[in-house]
Amino acid sequence: MLDTRPLPILQIAAGAWLLAVGGCASSPDIQAVKARELVVTAEGSEIIVTVELRNPNDAPVELTTWDYSVIINDQKAYSGQWVASLTLPPQDRMLAELPAFVPASFADITVAEWRIGGQLTYRATGKLDKLLYQLGVNHLSTNFGTGGTGIEKVAVVATPAPKPEALKPEAPKPEAPKPEAPK
């Protein structure tokens, strides 16, 4: 026989609490490591900001999207999104690189104070977490902000100048004697 009695409120509240607690993961910790310049053009510099991620959880965390800005000497230089596509192992650390473009108007960035900040979206990897994510309930994100001073310059490899002998024009070759006309 089917029991049609309503569930007591305490049982419903306990079930909701288990779903909420069971589907939570601590946010990854994010710290700046360095920033370096990759390419310099007349328009500006392409840079890479390296950050260290730490997962404080006992389960892996899937990082999905970075939405961030780069600030140079208190002025916004870049804003953008980057697909993270990383799985951060449990109780472990990992490096990630975020690209940015700094316009030439920012002048010498090698001694600049810089910050990177924004939002990182991620998802926990437990079975319940995946189910809640698919149901649209468990979309996790964390805000971050970190920075440093100085952006490493790209190593410029100069091509060696040609040797002076190579620049001299070749001496004219002697001409072959011309055949004489018949008499």
Domains and CATH numbers, the chain: 30-158 (2.60.40.1820)
- Closest C-alpha among 10, 17, 78, 76 to residue 46: 78
- Closest C-alpha among 20, 9, 34 to residue 153: 34
Q: How far is CA 57 from CA 14, 24, 27, 51, 164, in A?
A: 23, 10, 8, 19, 65
What's the pLDDT score for residue 18? 41
What's the pLDDT score for residue 157? 47
Per-residue pLDDT of the chain (183 residues; tens, 9 = 90+): 555 555 555 444 444 444 444 445 689 999 999 999 999 999 999 999 999 999 999 989 999 999 999 999 999 999 999 998 899 999 999 999 999 999 999 988 999 999 999 999 998 776 776 666 667 776 789 999 999 999 998 755 444 555 555 555 555 566 666 666 665
pTM more than 0.75: no
**Is there a contact between 96 and 86 (Cβ–Cβ < 8 Å)?**
yes
Task: Provide the 10 A C-beta neighbour count for residue 29.
Answer: 15
What's the pLDDT score for residue 13? 43
Element containing residue 13 per DSSP (H, E): helix 9-22
Q: How many angstroms separate the first and last alpha carbons of the chain? A: 136
What's the pLDDT score for residue 26? 86
* Residue 21: both structure tokens together: 């607690």
